[in-house]
Amino acid sequence: MDPLHRLHAYKDSTVAMIESAVSMGWSCSYFTPNDLYCRDGIPYAQMSGISIRNRMRPDWADTTPLGEHPLTVFDMILMRKDPPFDLEYIYATYALELAERNGVFVANKPQSLRDANEKFFTLNFPHCCPTTLVSRDIRRLRAFWETHKTGYFQAA
């Protein structure tokens, strides 16, 4: 998941999931993509235990260093890394795929995380979406904005 200091605990769904899991008696651990590495075909991470103290406070979590362990110590892994969809994200999915091959249940399949990109996946459902453009061409993006800005956005 993302580093704890980047989360807005009072509204973050990842924090709500951790809070709910702990309330059901589960033990939760976390690691970031920077904590993840692979050695001899086995994915490892520098892990910390986590419990939620109070989502509304700045010191919302209690953490406990757990050291480095193979991801196979987990019964289940859920990736909760916000985009950008960059090489770090891709590499994390590769490591999670190795964990999956070694018997860990990865709740959001690594291959699906790569295939269902947040920018492109909705293009499979044009009947459910507003007029959409995905492009890197700034001229095309500006023209799209000029054409559609009054239909979607109103100045306050």
Q: What is the average pLDDT value for the chain, to the nearest integer?
A: 91
Both 90 and 133 in one domain: the answer is: no
Q: Give the C-alpha separation, 128 to 10, whole Å.
A: 30
Both 85 and 104 in one domain: the answer is: yes
pLDDT of the residue at 79: 94
Which CATH number is 77's domain given?
A: 3.40.50.20
CB atoms within 10 A of CB 54: 12
pLDDT digits (tens, 9 = 90+) for 19-41: 999 999 999 999 999 999 999 99
Both 132 and 150 in one domain: the answer is: yes
pLDDT of the residue at 153: 55
In the three-class reduction of DSSP (H, G, I as helix; E, B as strand; rest coil), residue 93 is classed as: helix
Both 133 and 89 in one domain: the answer is: no
Both 112 and 129 in one domain: the answer is: no
**Which segments of the chain have a pLDDT < 50?**
none
pLDDT of the residue at 95: 97
Q: Give the C-alpha separation, 64 to 49, whole Å.
A: 5
Both 13 and 60 in one domain: the answer is: yes
pLDDT of the residue at 155: 52
Q: How many residues does the chain have?
A: 156
What are the respective helix, strand and coil percentages of the chain, to the nearest 5? 40, 20, 40
- Domain range for 104 is 4-116
pLDDT of the residue at 60: 94
Report how far apart, in Å, the C-alpha atoms of 36 and of each of 70, 88, 138, 156 are. 10, 10, 35, 45
Instruction: Give how many domains the chain has, as a whole number.
Output: 2
